[in-house]
Amino acid sequence: MVFPGYFKDHILPDKVHMLSVSFLVESLKKQYGGVASNISYNLGLLGERPELFATVGEDFAGYRNWLEAIGVDTRLTKVITDEFTASCFITTDLSDNQITGFYPGAMNRTADISLKDGAVDAASIGMVIVGPSSPEGILQTTHECQELGIPYFYAPTQQIVRMSGEELAAGLRGAYAVVSNDYEYEMIRNKTGLSPEDIAQYAKYVFVTLGAEGSFVLHEGTRVNIPPARPTQVQDPTGGGDAYLAGVVKGLVNDYPIEVTGRLGSLAAVYAIEHHGPQAHRYSLAEFAARYAENFGPLPVAFLWELRSCVRSRHVSVGANSSSPCCTRVY
């Protein structure tokens, strides 16, 4: 929602103890979002076949069709009856100040789904991406991944503030990769008391984004700096981090070099920030490959082979056994 004025003109500083204001907005736009869905959407664009393993409300039907059209598998997405899908309501004024309300809805029930559920073939899971669901859901999923020996990306992001240092450290210890922005990374360090070296020992890969300055990766005692891709414009940073994570997943599950993997994340991110809304962008693999070459040079032969074959890659291959069919689940 866009308010054609300034919040400051309607809020009296000496009356904030009894605040009651109403804003007449001039435009209303509904956009699809949510971390797990954003990551899944971008993985679909990148030719992967992610499974969205999440809890949603009875209003999910239209969103389901949207995600499935891009290649996201929603068969294990659980609908919670008498509940709405998590929603965010944002009002922005002419100075880009925002007033936001977030309703978690069905997200509060993420502990209702489990990798140990009979409907889930845990042996077929190649990778799990643990995003910022409820703290209880994050703890449960990371514990189950560790117990079942499933590699996972750990990206609690917005929920870091709601988790204790002990809870965060428990998720870090078994992670295959950790992904965060620089602010979240410092929050994790402050809450856990862990040094960058400690975190890098827990996880095989640690990716930290730095906004317009790119990102860096800690891997096997080495820091690899990743340059940013060049955006044509910057419309909205929302969803850029989710797109970056999807690009990184694309690289790691296909065994691309770490420098290439980080660059895939950089490029995927700029597509997102060039549009209003985290799922407003589209591109073909051919367009992605051409823009990668413009920014960083040629892509790996494996990516170009996937492009030439024009087939969606395995149900996301991963790790040391890249030829085996497996799947990535996104929470």
Catalytic residues: 242
- Among 120, 112, 141, 140, smallest CA distance to 129 is for 141
Cα→Cα distances 63→27, 34, 54, 200, Å: 22, 11, 13, 37
On whether the CB atoms of residues 40 and 319 are closer than 8 A, the answer is no
Query: Are the C-beta atoms of 57 and 83 separated by less than 8 Å?
Result: yes
Q: Rounded to an integer, what distance in angstroms lies between the CA atom of residue 268 and that of residue 73?
A: 20
Cα–Cα distance, 153 to 169 (Å, whole number): 14
φ/ψ of 236, rounded to 5, equals -160, 120
Element (H, E) at 189: helix 182-192
Spacing of C-alpha 41 from chain mean position: 10
**What is the rounded CA–CA span in Å between residue 306 and residue 288?**
12
DSSP per position, 71-101: T-B-TTPEEPTT-PPPEEEEEE-TT--EEEE
Say how far apart CA 180 and CA 27 lie, in whole Å. 33
Pairing mode, if any, of strands 215-219 and 205-209?
antiparallel
Q: Quick one: the chain helix, strand, coil %, rounded to 5?
A: 45, 15, 40
Helix axes 35-45, 61-69, angle to 10 degrees: 30
